[in-house]
Amino acid sequence: MSDDLAGLWPLLALRLTTGRLELAIPTTPDLLDLARASADLQPADQPRYQQAYLYEPSPQRERHLLQRHWRALAHWRPESWNLQLAIRVEGVAVGVQNMWAADYATVRTVETGSWITRARQGHGYGTEARAAVLELAFAHLGAVEARTSYVDGNTASERVSRKLGYAANGRRAYAEDGRRVVEHRMLLDAAAWAKHRMPGITVDGVHDCLELFGLRAEGLGS
């Protein structure tokens, strides 16, 4: 990524790394990798991810994926942002980890969601990717709490949340394709995160991004 461009839009230089993963704003090669990865998510009898666009036919699915990426950047404001990061394994983008917030400077609450292609599931990558954005949120952006959710039957997502210290925080039911779907909400506060914090995660380039997140360096301790 051009240093000059990152100088204008510092999110492009943001990097989160774990023992096996790198998370960053997707490049054009990443977007092509993600378009391919989105074609194979899980068997038909498994609960769907909550992003409905992932189940559209090709090429609508791929086009929607690109639009979501461009829209997140184009609509970014300090008062309302959606950080969409490519999850790279050995340099190849295999999924997306996102984190979003509204009025973050005041509320200090983030929400997260993710997906990983089926061939890369079952290896703990989802846990590492979530732990990476939680490290960004709590250790570098001064978050107070993080929220997430999963639908009935998505035991993999539930396991990741519980492993990282989340607690149950209510549920709701909604209709989807003529079916009743139950969504379970989960909450992680700063104290619980500290007890379950994953070691070995590094965050680079965040200082220059603070203004875009609605923050000032001197305000993180407040």
Distance (Å, rounded) from C-alpha 118 to C-alpha 42? 6
pLDDT at 5 over 60: yes
Percent of the chain with pLDDT over 90: 77
- pLDDT tens digits, 111-162: 999 999 999 999 999 999 999 999 999 999 999 999 999 888 788 888 999 9
Instruction: Name the least confident of 1-5, 62-66, 111-115, 174-178.
Output: 1-5
Radius of gyration of the chain (CA): 17
Q: How far is residue 40 from each of residues 45, 117, 191, measured CA to CA in Å? A: 13, 6, 37
User: What is the b/e burial string over 136-170, where b = at least 16 CB atoms within 10 angstroms of the residue's CB?
Assistant: bbbbbbbbebbebbbbeebebbbebbeebbbeeee
Distance CA 117, CA 96 (A): 9
Query: What is the average pLDDT score of the chain?
Result: 92
Query: Domains in the chain, ordered, with CATH?
Result: 3-216 (3.40.630.30)
Tell me if the pTM is above 0.95.
no
Confidence of residue 222 (pLDDT cuts 50, 70, 90): very low
For 15-42, write each residue's pLDDT tens digit. 999 999 999 999 999 999 999 999 988 7
Contact between residue 125 and residue 89 where contact means Cβ atoms under 8 Å apart: yes
Both tokens of 51, joined, read 């992003």
